[in-house]
DNA sequence: ATACATACC
DNA sequence: AACTGGTATGTAT
């Protein structure tokens, strides 16, 4: 899409605006899925899911009543729960969405769709992973693990050295950004459910890019396919995306950031981190007072509201933004006790980097809130990789990076397209040429070349495959991209595809290489 | 190095 | 019927 072309560096990727966690699924909403024990208890399961549509239950139960099928039944319910939480994460007590209706929509929408079947496959794979972890867990759960506790506690001491409580980091996030910009021009949209769509690639309406707060009341959210949104809310007003307007608004917002931290780090059009430590030295105002001032200026400039979090590091600041959204802010004092008090009760899902899958895995290990990480630390140390474990430990301790820096080094660049099912050789190679052309254009404008070429294909079944090849030298020309990508594609034929993409990594600037594709100034010059 | 999965906006 | 695109990074082999 051409609206990306003028975007700066990594920000060009913003299509879907941030998903506001308005409707948090609290831990109480989560069914205590029996992967957590590995033992299927069908009575318990059916009791937990008694609200699920009767016909669905009958259908899923199938003709057989064997134990194996009970297990399959359990898995399917888990999956349905997953889908419901995915699309309609409505808080308990929110009656704006009729739960039975939601289930029905899910069922209607799911049946017979390749997407659904593929999601189920992925979900089963996660269950397999969880079960493998759980059998490991079973073996060690009664061990004292005193050595592990010692190791972990030493680790904690080391991590504490990383802690820096002397910076004041602010995370700012515009409220329903694209939708709010649209409402500026068309104020009547404020009171009706409204969304913007994009990507009409495969027909239909496409994917939802943003939704206003009225639409969210119906469970309509960004990154939802249009036809589901319309089923949820038939009166939904659809407006086209106007990326240049969002960029314009974003520029005004950024000019405010600039005044408080010239090194502010934009994460997308509607979101940024600021380090206001230096600014605080120039004023008598407290951190929250400064942030009120920033948000006031943003409002005066754009008539748009923003939410903010203020804390000792980026992770905490981001988590704080969520607390009083929309149009609010939260200040977490840089005191150990305050940080612990803030972190402990939060669901692990609130940790940036913990998504739906990781949440499920951790829940299975009886880790539901950040507080749970500590008593389980020796077990988690044994079960998780060093990287994952340290990541969790840092989150639990509230330790995070304080570096706010707009510098950015790109590591890869890619173009991918979704289309109506294609399987003939001619069509596929034509599409490949198209994509290579676009990538070559992007490489040109960014003055880049690279030597690892990757091909990504998504079959009509939604199965995704990636193939890559590291070449002897750097490439950037369309013909070269096309040539090597074709070689990778050739091996996959025959296939019926819905998506194709080309990625180039191991990048370097074109200025740094000579005609042979060899770097002039390489790592070797250091030695 | 490659493949695949997860996460973020 | 119908479920995006761009980038980074972790995990496994």
Nearest Cα residue to A131 out of A43, A271, A36, A198: A36
Distances (CA, A) of A470 to A115, A454, A506: 32, 9, 9
Cβ neighbours around A193 below 10 Å, total? 23
The answer on pLDDT for A175 being more than 60 is: yes
- Asked whether residue A121, judged by its CB, lies under 7 Å from any atom of the DNA or RNA strand B, the reply is no
Q: Which nucleotide is nearest to A387 (CA to C1')?
A: C10
Quickly give A121 CA vs C12 C1' distance in Å: 19
Å between A241 CA and C12 C1'?
40
| Per-residue pLDDT at A203 exceeds 80 | no
pLDDT of residue A286 exceeding 60, the answer is yes
Report residue A211 as tokens: 């939704």
The answer to whether some atom of strand B lies closer than 7 Å to the beta carbon of A483 is no
Q: Which nucleotides of B are covered by protein (CB under 7 A)?
A: 1-9
DSSP sequence for A329-356: EEE--S-HHHHHHHHTTSBGGGSTT--H
Q: Are A137 and A365 in contact (CB under 8 A)?
A: yes
Closest residue (Cα, C1') to C6: A13
What mean pLDDT is reported for chain A? 82
Answer with the residue of higher pLDDT: A460 or A14. Answer: A460
pLDDT at A285 over 50: yes
pLDDT band at A196; cut points 50, 70, 90: confident
Residues A83-136 pLDDT 10s? 544 444 443 323 345 545 655 675 677 677 899 999 989 999 999 999 999 999
Residue A274: phi and psi, rounded to 5, are: -130, 145
Confirm if A113 and A122 have CB atoms less than 8 A apart: no
A142-162+342-397 in CATH: which number? 1.10.150.810
CATH topology (fold) of A167-330? Alpha-Beta Plaits (3.30.70)
Residue nearest to nucleotide C8 (CA to C1'): A411
The full set of domain ranges for chain A reads: 11-137, 142-162+342-397, 167-330, 412-526
* Distance of A391 CA from C10 C1′ (whole Å): 11
Nearest nucleotide (CA of A386 to C1'):
C10
Q: Whole-prediction pTM value?
A: 0.84
Q: Which residues of A are catalytic?
A: 271
**pLDDT tier at A201, thresholds 50, 70, 90:** low
The SS3 assignment for A192 reads: coil
Q: Which residues of A356-386 are buried (b: 16+ CB within 10 A; e: fewer)?
A: eebbbbbbbbebbbbbbbbebbbbbbbbbee
Mean pLDDT of A413-417: 97
φ/ψ (deg, to 5) at A233: -145, 85
On chain C, which bases lie within 7 A of the protein's CB atoms? 1-12
CATH class of A412-526: alpha beta
Strand B lies under 7 A from the Cβ of residue A452: yes
Give dist(CA A92, CA A27) in Å, integer. Answer: 11
In this prediction, residue A248 carries a pLDDT of: 97
């Amino acid at each position: 899409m051409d609206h990306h072309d003028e975007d700066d560096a990594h920000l060009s990727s913003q299509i879907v605006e941030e998903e506001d966690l308005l409707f948090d699924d609290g831990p109480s909403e989560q069914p205590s899925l029996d992967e957590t024990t590995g033992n299927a208890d069908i009575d318990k399961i059916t009791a937990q899911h008694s609200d699920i549509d009767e016909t669905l239950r009958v259908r899923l139960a199938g003709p057989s009543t064997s134990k194996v099928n009970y297990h399959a039944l359990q898995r399917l319910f888990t999956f349905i729960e997953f889908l419901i939480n995915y699309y309609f994460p409505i808080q308990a007590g929110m009656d704006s969405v009729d739960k039975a209706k939601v289930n029905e929509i899910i069922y209607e929408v799911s049946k017979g769709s390749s997407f659904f079947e593929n999601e189920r496959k992925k979900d089963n794979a996660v269950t397999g992973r969880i079960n493998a972890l759980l059998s490991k867990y079973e073996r060690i759960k009664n061990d004292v693990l005193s050595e592990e506790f010692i190791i972990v506690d030493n680790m904690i001491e080391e991590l504490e050295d990383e802690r820096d409580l002397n910076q004041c980091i602010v995370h700012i996030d515009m409220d329903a950004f694209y939708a709010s910009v649209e409402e500026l021009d068309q104020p009547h949209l404020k009171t009706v459910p409204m969304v913007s769509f994009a990507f009409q690639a495969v027909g239909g309406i496409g994917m939802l890019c943003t939704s206003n707060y009225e639409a969210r009341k119906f469970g309509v959210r960004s990154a939802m396919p249009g036809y589901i949104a319309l089923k949820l809310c038939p009166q939904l007003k659809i407006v086209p995306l106007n990326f240049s307007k969002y960029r314009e608004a974003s520029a005004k917002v950024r000019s405010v950031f600039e005044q408080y931290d010239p090194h502010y780090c934009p994460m997308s059009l509607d979101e940024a981190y600021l380090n206001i430590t230096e600014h605080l030295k120039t004023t008598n105002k407290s951190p929250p007072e400064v942030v009120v001032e920033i948000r006031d200026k943003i409002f005066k400039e754009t008539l748009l509201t923003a939410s903010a979090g203020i804390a000792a590091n980026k992770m905490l600041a981001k988590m704080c933004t969520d607390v009083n959204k929309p149009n609010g802010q939260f200040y977490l004092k840089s005191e150990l006790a305050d940080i612990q008090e803030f972190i402990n009760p939060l669901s692990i899902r609130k940790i940036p980097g913990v998504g739906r899958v990781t949440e499920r895995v951790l829940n299975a290990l009886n880790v539901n809130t950040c507080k749970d990480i500590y008593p389980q630390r020796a077990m988690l140390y044994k079960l998780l990789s060093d990287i994952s474990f340290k990541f969790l430990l840092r989150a639990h301790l509230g330790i995070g990076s304080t570096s706010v820096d707009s510098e950015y080094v790109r590591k890869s660049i890619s173009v991918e397209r979704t289309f109506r099912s294609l399987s003939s050789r001619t069509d596929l190679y034509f599409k490949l040429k198209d994509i290579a052309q676009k990538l070559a254009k992007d490489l040109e404008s960014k003055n880049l070349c690279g030597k690892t070429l990757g091909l990504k294909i998504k079959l009509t079944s939604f199965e995704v495959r990636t193939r890559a090849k590291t070449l002897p030298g750097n490439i950037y020309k369309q013909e070269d991209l096309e040539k090597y990508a074709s070689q990778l594609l050739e091996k996959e034929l025959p296939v019926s595809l819905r998506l194709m993409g080309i990625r180039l990594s191991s990048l370097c600037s074109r200025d740094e290489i000579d005609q042979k594709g060899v770097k002039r100034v390489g790592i070797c010059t250091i030695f």
